Amino acid sequence: MSSYVGKTIDQCILEARQMVNDASEPYRNSDETYLGYLNSALLTVYTVRPDAFIGNFTQGILSQAPVIQYDTTDLQVVDGIANPTPPAPATQFPLDQRFFYNPVVVYLAARVEIADDEYVDTQRSAQLMASFIQQLRGP
């Protein structure tokens, strides 16, 4: 029997790592890098689809609701220094995962690809960014 299990920010980062072949240690990009991109992705989602944040954080005027920003203490992965005690349970993905999880994963991969441009096809990052916006806007 199937059951619903919400996605976490750790899973989001892991899927983005897999898209850019950075899923085995030693990582080319740090967790801090991915978290920075995740925070940027959430701000971009707010710009394109502010309705994604209705009811998720605070009640009241949407423009006064803060967009959550994450740091390494929100990750489940223990790195020994920045996060000696991971949160339990893991930090849930903050938006409706049915609509916004995959676009955010794509955004993270695109940002890593932009930074890694010397190693990859330069068009891939642009294609991923276009895919991110297309997925947010819908058909």
What CA–CA distance (Å, rounded) separates 6 from 98? 10
pLDDT at residue 131, rounded to an integer: 92
Taking Cα atoms as reference points, which of 87, 67, 84, 64 lies closest to residue 76? 87
For 92, the 3-state DSSP assignment is strand
Tokens of 123: 């068009």
82 or 24, which is more confident: 24
What is the mean predicted confidence (pLDDT) over 57-76? 71
Is the confidence at residue 25, as pLDDT, over 90?
A: no
Q: Give the C-alpha separation, 110 to 135, whole Å.
A: 14
CA–CA gap between residue 3 and residue 16 (Å, rounded): 24
CB 38 within 8 A of CB 74: no
Computed over every residue of the chain, the mean pLDDT equals 82
pLDDT bracket for residue 12 (50, 70, 90): very high
Q: Quick one: pLDDT at residue 110?
A: 92
Give the C-alpha separation, 10 to 124, whole Å: 24
Q: What would the pLDDT profile of 26-56 be if each residue is shown by its tens digit? A: 888 988 999 999 999 999 999 899 888 776 5
- Is 70 exceeded by the pLDDT of residue 117? no
CA distance 80 to 85: 8
Amino acid present at 136: L
Please tell me the pTM assigned to this model: 0.83
Give Cα separations from 11 to 28, 66, 117 (angstroms).
18, 23, 24
Question: What is the predicted pLDDT for the residue at 60?
Answer: 55
Q: pLDDT at position 125, please?
A: 83
**pLDDT greater than 60 at residue 120:** no
Q: What is the pLDDT of residues 78-105, one digit of tens each?
A: 555 556 676 778 889 999 899 999 999 9
Please give the DSSP secondary-structure letter assigned to residue 15: H
